[in-house]
Amino acid sequence: EEWDIEYEQGQDFQNLLRAATELQETDIPVAFPTETVYGLGADATRSSAVRAIFAAKGRPVDNPLIVHFHSLSQLRSLLRGNAGVTECATDPIPEIYKPLIQKFWPGPLTIILPNPEGSQLAPEVTAGLNTFGARMPRSILALALIRLSTVPLAAPSANASTRPSPTAAEHVKDDLDGRISTIIDGGPCEVGVESTVVDGLSYPPTILRPGGVTVEQLRQCPGWENVVVGYKDKHEQGIKPRAPGMKYRHYSPKATVMLYEAGTPAPDAEQLLDKVAERKSVGIVRTKTWARNLGVSVTDADAHVNGVSNSIPKAHPQDASPIRESNLLRSFKQHQVPHAVHSTFHREADQGPLSIWDIGLGKSTEVVARGLFSALRELDKKGVDIILVEGINDTVEDNIAAAVMNRLRKAAEIRI
């Protein structure tokens, strides 16, 4: 319902307080961690602050933002609009969402709500719609920031528009350095893909975006047994024409992404070389095995120098109360990037050598989701021309494979 922060003298707390003050007193958005991806937050009630989010990201203004709350009472007070607290005895949160809130909040779920008459929300947040997306993140830093700033925070993912979403503070810096002044570093994100967006105002209730909460988890809630999928990502395979302005790019690294749908036989070495004949360097993202060395002369100096590994530990997966200092501090210290194994394949003279950067994300869907955006960004840093990604089976409803494949299909220019 409601909670309070015990005021402390620690440096972390002072930094959070300074960020909250910045949100209240300036229009410069603040980047903060959530359990899904990093968000770029601003006071959702102030137009000038919200417009600055769109400007910093280069985001099209017709794409509405999600509003983040620290408590149900903060959400209720917004939903009551100009009706106020006293006149309105009934709960403004629609019944259909109650079981979801009970089960998944705080957590990776966004619900679509009616924007009330006389809403405090800046019109830019909703992009002209009469609804808005509401979410209560479970990252303790996010909750504390919203609580300290005392206003709901409008926050899209903190990447530059079209780029892969940021799952570490470094990713935000890479995209937005010079455009914002504060990033709260909470270490790598626990989930790695964005929240599931659901609309329970229409019947049957609809999933607008797959994410950290699975279809099966939703179906277990009363009123949500017949939830339908309201997004499309399975259009025909092959090369997707991308006329500028026709369709927004999304989740895309600089390199061309070639996605192998699950069930596609893995290419043998010859087919692979054929696919990348024109290219000088290729990245590979595996989702079933660890990285492999395809060529000769392996130089994986990175691995030994930094001691990095593919496993990003969950910050606080099972705790009922995530406020555990030891976990938090551990998470600050660990920024781990998926490790790319390098090898060089010597081709015929006219083609020259092929540089191969190979990342194995591991087998579990959760681990793949956690490392996916980071892997795409890492391969961009290696300067590869093309990234071959091994898709995963998303016909099952009991894991977050649908979210992983949805992001990959949007990122891919070529699908096989």
Binding site for ligand TXA (CB under 6 A): 34, 36-37, 39, 63-66, 108, 110, 112, 126, 129, 131-133, 135, 137, 155-157, 194-195, 197, 208-209
**Residue 92, CB-side half-sphere exposure with 13 Å CA sphere:** 22
Token pair for residue 275? 């696919």
- Smaller CB separation from ligand TXA, 359 or 401: 401
What's the chain's Rg over C-alpha atoms? Answer: 22
**Residue 265, CB-side half-sphere exposure with 13 Å CA sphere:** 4
Phi and psi at 177, nearest 5°, equal: -55, 130
109 is in the binding site of which of Mg ion, ligand TXA, none (Cβ under 5 to 8 A by kind)?
A: none
- Smaller CB separation from Mg ion, 105 or 251: 251
First to last CA, the chain: 48
> Do you know the residue count of the chain?
416
Query: In this chain, which stretch among 141-149, 155-163, 318-326, 353-361 interacts with Mg ion, using CB under 5 A?
Result: 155-163
Supply the minimum distance, in Å, between the C-beta of residue 57 and Mg ion.
Answer: 8
Query: In this chain, which stretch among 157-165, 277-285, 298-306, 381-389 interacts with Mg ion, using CB under 5 A?
Result: 157-165
Separation between Cα atoms, residue 32 and residue 176, nearest integer Å: 13
Supply the minimum distance, in Å, between the C-beta of residue 211 and ligand TXA.
Answer: 6
Cβ atoms 197, 207 nearer than 8 A: yes
Supply the minimum distance, in Å, between the C-beta of residue 311 and Mg ion.
Answer: 25
Instruction: Give every strand in the sheet of 386-390, ordered side by side.
Output: 238-239, 414-415, 256-260, 386-390, 281-286, 354-360, 340-345
Does residue 157 belong to the site contacting Mg ion (CB under 5 A)? yes
209 is in the binding site of which of Mg ion, ligand TXA, none (Cβ under 5 to 8 A by kind)?
A: ligand TXA
Q: What is the dihedral of CA 118, 73, 89, 132, to 10 degrees?
A: 40
308 is in the binding site of which of ligand TXA, Mg ion, none (Cβ under 5 to 8 A by kind)?
A: none
- Smaller CB separation from ligand TXA, 197 or 401: 197
- Smaller CB separation from Mg ion, 194 or 358: 194
107 is in the binding site of which of Mg ion, ligand TXA, none (Cβ under 5 to 8 A by kind)?
A: none
Supply the minimum distance, in Å, between the C-beta of residue 66 and ligand TXA.
Answer: 5
Cβ atoms 206, 227 nearer than 8 A: yes
Residues in contact with Mg ion by the rule CB under 5 A: 157
